[in-house]
Structure 1
């Protein structure tokens, strides 16, 4: 299963939500709560799943530009209150990161979440010790799929883009990697579905996180 194109990889950038930590139910519940408040009875679970990926500002601007701050506050208040109750782990993630760290891979988080919420999720799942570099929405002018956040992470890690892999669960991650000149890996547990993510042509598709070790040739 070793991918010859990935054998030179020494740096891995990870998306957070839906990739390393299972925040899907939290995000869906937060969107449903917000939509029910502003648009009673109009939005279903299937509707709000399409909101996952871009920053809240983009989603809420598309709904009502005059209420972006108000809706964001409603969403975040609920999200923060329910965070620790609804966030779950993905099997094999901790062990995979532990092995990558042991083998000397450089790693960073590149997320469209705010820094505080991202760090809270990492700490809750005890993954924070693997990441000295976290590039959140608070540190950039442009978010994925713009290359800026990935380039910022690579600069912090002194990484070569040709030896870097971006791992994520949405088109923003795959296209962000392509725009930044890195290799890309999609995760089959994406809420949008494996087939949908495959249309963006990631270099590899992971059915489980430990598969990443095999692709990299890590024993």
Structure 2
């Protein structure tokens, strides 16, 4: 049985239900480390425009708000000014076509992800992805890493009109799972995930190894966090093997 690790109702970031029925996961920085493939595709885009490559740290800081914002930030960094729509739209199209064709060359699941997802499903929980990454790119990565079968639903950054921190995509994930907010917990690596969870009425658990974790410090109250994905079952109160 899953039980919330703390008393429900004391924080918008604590799991909201005594008995959990489902979990909704962010993707990049939570389940997978995808920066190197994103960086490679961005640098190919920039090279075609005669611009120098971006370092990993720069790309990591750009991730989290969807592909359009990622490409916009990369072009802004490369040119010193934000691109106009006439520049950004074709650049985004080119980036997505390139990235989706080679989305899992260097991308890997974080340690413990496969084993923990199998355990969670075995415990009867429904699982979904809620990411700001476009749907097609998300599915391409999940398929390449052989993780697709672990999830009952995938909500991408273009699956709904709004993206996290707006709660709309998280609500779409809950609807796809057939769950009320109080029966689910969101797991993510940044404040967008935590704020979406609070607005949607789910619980939230943050991972400290991801891309946006520095933003947790600005949240009041501070969210529950785990340092390793393998710690998630225990944090949820899952007992047994």
Q: Could you state the TM-score of these two structures normalised by the residue count of structure 1?
A: 0.87
Cα distance change of structure 1 residues 59 and 195 upon mapping to structure 2, 3 Å threshold: closer
Which residue of structure 1 lines up, in the alignment, with residue 161 of structure 2? Answer: 141
Which residue of structure 1 lines up, in the alignment, with residue 185 of structure 2? Answer: 165
Asked if residue 156 in structure 1 is aligned to residue 180 in structure 2, the reply is no
**1:31-42 matched pairs, under 5 angstroms:** 31-38=42-49, 40-41=51-52
1:155 deviates by 1.3
Q: Would you say how many aligned residue pairs link Structure 1 and Structure 2?
A: 217
Cα distance change of structure 1 residues 28 and 185 upon mapping to structure 2, 3 Å threshold: farther
Q: Which has the higher helix share?
A: 1
CA distance in 2, matches of 1:24, 1:68: 21
Q: Output the aligned Cα RMSD.
A: 2.2
Gaps of 5+ in 1: none
1:28–1:45 CA contact under 8 A, matched in 2 = yes
Partner SS for 1:84: coil
**1:1-219 matched pairs, under 5 angstroms:** 3-4=5-6, 5=8, 6=15, 7-38=18-49, 40-41=51-52, 43-60=54-71, 63-64=82-83, 65-192=85-212, 194-200=213-219, 203-219=223-239
1:164 deviates by 1.5
1:186–1:202 CA contact under 8 A, matched in 2 = no
2:39–2:54 CA contact under 8 A, matched in 1 = no
Cα distance change of structure 1 residues 118 and 52 upon mapping to structure 2, 3 Å threshold: same
